[in-house]
Chain A
Amino acid sequence: MQVSPNDVYRPPTLNETPRQQPDKGTFDVSDAHNKTREMRINEVRSELERLHFGKALLEHEQPKARPEASIAQVSHTEKGKVNTAEFVTYVRNIGEFIAYERSEVMKNGWSS
């Protein structure tokens, strides 16, 4: 569950400080700031991994499945247009495999 500082903190009234809010208990604003920052970092990291800029790509590990030799599996929408999202995935898979092949040869040399 995501927690933002606003969930547990409301600005103090003129007569109280944040630590005096009885219904929320004691609360250190710096902790909330750090937690929010950590969550944000994790979100960004997840997003980067989702966009294929994560560990697997940076280290050029072998992707799990090779792109199909045929693009016949790319479907068409009702209007007959090609499914761009499938093309994008397909092209990116190819790019990852080429990066992998390059890195293997650069690391190990040509196999005879």
Chain B
Amino acid sequence: MAGLLKKTLQLLTGSENVSFSGMFRRTKPTERELIQRESEIGGHLFGAVPAGHHRQFFNVDPTTWVWYEEWVDDRGKHQTTTTRYEVHENGILKVQEGAHYYYIEGYELQNLVSAIRIYYERVTREIYRRDPVTGKHLAAA
């Protein structure tokens, strides 16, 4: 089946060197797909994820970051928690369901900024294939 597909593609493109991965990489992803890929990297920036937990950390837009975590508790009940970090002029506001909103500071602020820095460096390199400092495209591996 794969051979037939490859021959069909060779016939259509006129090229002997048909790369499936290359073809798929040329497709245009949606923003949701990109955020999903970024969140897979983001989920591992805060250390090991406990067994049975699923964690995502991702950038929604230039002023919003989200930490989402879900797990099954001791009683077998599905639990989720969502924390939103909003970037305001006067600080970064932490917003959680059912909790007070507050501007983070001290180590919490430093840790978040460090995580965001690593997120940026990793997604820029690993997903967008650019050098995070210069912005130049990385050479294909």
Smallest beta-carbon distance A90→chain B, Å: 7
A residues 89-112 touching B (CB-CB < 8 Å)? 90-92, 94-99, 101-102, 104-112
Task: Determine if A71 is an interface residue (Cβ-Cβ < 8 Å).
Answer: yes
Task: Determine if B10 is an interface residue (Cβ-Cβ < 8 Å).
Answer: no
Q: Are B117 and A94 in contact (CB under 8 A)?
A: yes
Tally A-B pairs: CB < 8 A.
108
Measured in the bound complex, the distance between the Cα atoms of B27 and A112 in whole Å is 11
Q: Are B137 and A91 in contact (CB under 8 A)?
A: no
Smallest beta-carbon distance A91→chain B, Å: 5
When distances are taken between beta carbons in the complex, the residues of chain B under 8 Å from A62 are: 135
Choose among A96, A107, A110, A111 the residue that contacts B27 (Cβ–Cβ < 8 A): A110
* Chain B binding surface SS class: mixed
Q: Are A88 and B133 in contact (CB under 8 A)?
A: no
B residues 12-45 touching A (CB-CB < 8 Å)? 22, 25-31, 34-35, 38
Choose among B22, B26, B120 the residue that contacts A67 (Cβ–Cβ < 8 A): B120
Q: What is the interface size of chain A, counting residues whose CB is below 8 A from a CB of the partner?
A: 36
When distances are taken between beta carbons in the complex, the residues of chain B under 8 Å from A1 are: none
When distances are taken between beta carbons in the complex, the residues of chain A under 8 Å from B130 are: 101
Task: Determine if A81 is an interface residue (Cβ-Cβ < 8 Å).
Answer: yes
Given contacts A105-B28, A110-B26, contact A88 B59 (CB under 8 A): no
Q: Are B113 and A87 in contact (CB under 8 A)?
A: yes
Q: Are A106 and B113 in contact (CB under 8 A)?
A: no
5 tightest A-B CB contacts, nearest first:
A95-B62, A110-B25, A101-B128, A69-B133, A109-B28
